[in-house]
Structure 1
Amino acid sequence: MKIWAIVSDFPKVTETFALANVQAFRNAGHKADVFHIKPFRSAEIVHPEARGIVDDALHLGYAAPRTVLLAALAAIRSPLRTARVIRRIVGAFRAEPRHLGISLMLLPQGLALGQLARRSGVDRLYAEFAGYPATVAWIASRTSGIPFGFSAHAHDIFITQGLLDVKARAASFVRTISDFNRRFLVQKACVSQDKIHVIRCGVAPERTQSALPVAPTEGEPFHIVFVGALLPRKGVDVLLKALSHLPKTLNWRLTIVGGGSQEASLRVAAEDLPDGCVDFLGALPSDQVQQTMAEAHLVVVPSIEGEGGRSEGIPVVLMEAMAQGRPVIASRLSGIPELVEEGLTGWLVLPGDARVLATRIEQVFGNYQGSLGLAAAGQARVRAHYNIEQNAAELLALIEGD
């Protein structure tokens, strides 16, 4: 079977699950490739295991001559379906001009993709996100007849629900990563519950074999790690505020892995903390991220709800940290409590509450042996339910079963 997986940005270090899925499809014997909507991100870190998929990736420029020609052919061949697609888009986003404009801008690309996929013998289209990737897949499917399905992760359904019900009815399946998202899709987007399948993201099973950490020795700092994009919705500023509330006698250090628009302001904020206690490492290859987590006593994911409803789904960094047996503290947000269960597999705090986060960090430090018991339970949960190979196989079964 020939499968094209559609994403927006590519490659993107925070969306390694998309590459993992395509690799799993290939491992199962299918011809699977990535189609990316936006131009190639040449400055992004590409992990060695993903190089082949990245090199084979497909793209059509928004208004490139080839795109325009293929789109015109699609419109000529299916004028009524093209007209219905346009009418649906306009109706869905009449009150949301920004989303209307972007969706119409993607119309030629979607029409062109349908023609290109049909000529290339593609059997299935799969959109990794419910927003613009699913819109492009839906347009391509409507005008080419190739079945499509899509996944729903986080802000791709939280920011706007326009067109979601239309795409869901036309799709062969809707996959989402959490029960929280499933309820949201049913209640807010009027998607039929029977159409939605909950399949988690996950991590490689070999990463769940790590030994638990040991408590800091006398004089050794308590090592806290944050991994993620340095954006407002990631809540790193909340973490820095929390650290300012810790007792002066607590010996700690924080390692921040990742880059982003907030880096400069976060570095300024870190200057108010004890000298030399905060290290900014920038974006790192996956093996170095894993090594940094392996050196952590605690991993913190202090996410908040971002502008326009942007929010976490279930962050892969949490799965990775728990797979390695690291104690975790995370925000009670979206589907996170389905992975981090308060007092059982980790600790939860209200998003944005720096003082409560500080209290939790102090409690973990003060009873580290108890913390390791929760970390072991968290590792077992990831091992049982967040296995990327198992979950990619379930997703593939949905795609094959169209």
Structure 2
Amino acid sequence: MDGPLSSHAADNLSGDYSSAAPPAIPTRPREVRTVKVLHLINGEHYSGAERVQDLLGLRLPEFGYHADFACVKPGKFLTSRQAETSQVFDLAMRHRFDLWRARDAARLIRDEGYEIVHAHTPRTALLAMLAIRGSATKFVYHVHSPTSRDSTRRFKNWVNQKVESMAMTKADRLITVSHSLSRHMRQLKVAAEKVRVVHNGVPPLAEVPSHNTPTDDWTLGCVALFRPRKGMEVLLQALANLRSQGQAVRLRAVGPFETPEYERDILALVDKLKLKDAIEWVGFTQEVNRELFKMDLFVLPSLFGEGLPMVVLEAMAAGVPVIASDVEGVCEAIQPKADGLLAIPGDADDLTKKILAVVSGEIHWSALRQAAIRRQRDSFSDRSMAAGTAAVYDELVR
């Protein structure tokens, strides 16, 4: 087993994780002992699931749990994370079935005294099952998205689903990030008494910059790890539709592409639709809030495979009204025409209409903005997510 990786975290906006959390969630009495939890994660990206993991590392100590991390695919998580008091261990696997690493994981769990192992992907779940075999360590599996619909690669989905099914039989508890995923678990015949819903959450911002209602020029924004299931093609077509109707709209695209091949496909479509001068490609950034503040509308045109997107909650916290596809758990965050809008997945014409309804003033932008800030703060905070996760741990060790 390799030693802990560097604990250095790259600089970020101080506002990104500042919190004005609701006071109703109590911290634990000081006399309660701290329980150590090891989160087994992939770690190559720093997108939605990784932000969940990082925020749990920051917030769980308030509820009596210390979280460390072990990465099986070390990458951006190490340099982007904020939970600096957590250790990050290197358990790099050469491939998804490099099961020799289970011995190293078992040694790490034993030597560091972890009472709970919390896995977040099929790959890490397989490692966790082997590592804790025959021990008293508890096993929690976190379902961030429907594995059977996680990508456009059917064989990969099938393999991951088989591995995940094994994990679900061995796990002491399953955490799903939305009620839609909980229903999906029931369809997979998972015992209902194992499943707990803990909605994702992000820190409410202590201060949201003022933003006047846009008049002529509108900046649409999208933050994602761009890959086929995110539906970027639909957004590009909607952007072209709006511009052909004389609407002064631009797109600010924030995030990396999953593969060079997909990037080439998208840029070819941009050229075909004559949108090159209407889009700014920002790439990966750790300063997500700074980018959100530059947007007037946040658009997430996912086709499938969402649990409860963190970036939707971050946009709401930043006061950027959201128009998102009505897929899986998205509708648990967005209340149509109250704090955002939902569009038909894969339907560029419907997405065009939804964006136009706000741009034209048919739906009041400022009302959406204020309602979104309130809803995120009241229902989807980082502390409420940590409290829900700690309650699941409590069932196993308290």
TM-score normalised per structure 2: 0.80
The 1-side partners of 2:148 and 2:275 are apart by 40
Which residue does 1:245 correspond to in 2? Answer: 241
Q: How does 1:22-101 map to 2 (within 5 A)?
A: 22-28=57-63, 30-38=65-73, 40-41=74-75, 46-47=79-80, 49-51=82-84, 53=86, 56-62=87-93
Q: Tell me which amino acid in the other structure corresponds to 1:17.
A: V
With over 3 angstroms needed to count, the CA separation of the structure-2 counterparts of 1:353 and 1:384, relative to structure 1, is same
Which residue does 1:193 correspond to in 2? Answer: 192
Q: Tell me which amino acid in the other structure corresponds to 2:231.
A: G
Pairwise CA distance, 1:45: 8.0
The 2-side partners of 1:318 and 1:62 are apart by 31
User: 8 Å contact 1:175–1:198 — kept in the other structure?
Assistant: yes
The 1-side partners of 2:302 and 2:210 are apart by 25
The 2-side partners of 1:118 and 1:45 are apart by 23
Q: Tell me which amino acid in the other structure corresponds to 1:122.
A: Y
1:145 to 136, 149, 171: 136
With over 3 angstroms needed to count, the CA separation of the structure-2 counterparts of 1:46 and 1:151, relative to structure 1, is same
With over 3 angstroms needed to count, the CA separation of the structure-2 counterparts of 1:106 and 1:25, relative to structure 1, is farther
Q: What secondary structure does 1:304 align onto?
A: coil
Which residue does 1:183 correspond to in 2? Answer: 183
Q: How does 1:321-332 map to 2 (within 5 A)?
A: 321-332=315-326
Is 1:21 matched up with 2:21? no
With over 3 angstroms needed to count, the CA separation of the structure-2 counterparts of 1:229 and 1:45, relative to structure 1, is farther
The 2-side partners of 1:51 and 1:391 are apart by 19
The 2-side partners of 1:11 and 1:232 are apart by 16
Q: What secondary structure does 1:284 align onto?
A: coil
Q: Deviations over 1:151-208 (max 9, x none)?
A: 1110436434425454334322111111100000011x2111122111111111226x
Which residue does 1:254 correspond to in 2? Answer: 251
User: 8 Å contact 1:164–1:191 — kept in the other structure?
Assistant: no
Q: Tell me which amino acid in the other structure corresponds to 2:382.
A: I
Is 1:8 matched up with 2:9? no
The 2-side partners of 1:146 and 1:120 are apart by 12
Is 1:313 matched up with 2:307? yes
The 1-side partners of 2:332 and 2:89 are apart by 35
Which residue does 1:82 correspond to in 2? Answer: none
With over 3 angstroms needed to count, the CA separation of the structure-2 counterparts of 1:118 and 1:259, relative to structure 1, is same
Which residue does 1:114 correspond to in 2? Answer: 106
With over 3 angstroms needed to count, the CA separation of the structure-2 counterparts of 1:45 and 1:221, relative to structure 1, is farther
Which residue does 1:213 correspond to in 2? Answer: 211
Pairwise CA distance, 1:378: 2.5
User: 8 Å contact 1:233–1:303 — kept in the other structure?
Assistant: yes
User: 8 Å contact 1:152–1:176 — kept in the other structure?
Assistant: yes
Which residue does 1:375 correspond to in 2? Answer: 369
Q: What secondary structure does 1:380 align onto?
A: helix
Could you list the runs of 5+ residues in structure 1 that have no partner in the other structure? 64-100, 306-310
Q: Tell me which amino acid in the other structure corresponds to 2:37.
A: I
Q: What secondary structure does 1:391 align onto?
A: helix
With over 3 angstroms needed to count, the CA separation of the structure-2 counterparts of 1:8 and 1:44, relative to structure 1, is closer
Q: Which has the larger radius of gyration?
A: 1
Pairwise CA distance, 1:44: 6.5
The 1-side partners of 2:224 and 2:55 are apart by 18
Q: Deviations over 1:137-157 (max 9, x none)?
A: 222222333111121110436
User: 8 Å contact 1:45–1:285 — kept in the other structure?
Assistant: no
Paired-residue identity, %: 25
Q: Higher helix fraction: Structure 1 or Structure 2? A: 1
Q: In angstroms, what is the RMSD of aligned CA positions?
A: 2.4
Q: What secondary structure does 2:285 align onto?
A: coil
TM-score normalised per structure 1: 0.79
2:346 to 347, 352, 361: 352
With over 3 angstroms needed to count, the CA separation of the structure-2 counterparts of 1:31 and 1:344, relative to structure 1, is closer
Q: What secondary structure does 2:102 align onto?
A: helix
With over 3 angstroms needed to count, the CA separation of the structure-2 counterparts of 1:106 and 1:385, relative to structure 1, is farther
The 1-side partners of 2:132 and 2:384 are apart by 28
Which residue does 2:3 correspond to in 1? Answer: none
Q: Tell me which amino acid in the other structure corresponds to 1:134.
A: A
With over 3 angstroms needed to count, the CA separation of the structure-2 counterparts of 1:377 and 1:216, relative to structure 1, is closer
Pairwise CA distance, 1:273: 3.2
Q: Tell me which amino acid in the other structure corresponds to 1:49.
A: Q
The 2-side partners of 1:390 and 1:234 are apart by 27
User: 8 Å contact 2:54–2:81 — kept in the other structure?
Assistant: no
Q: Deviations over 1:339-368 (max 9, x none)?
A: 112223211111111111111111110116
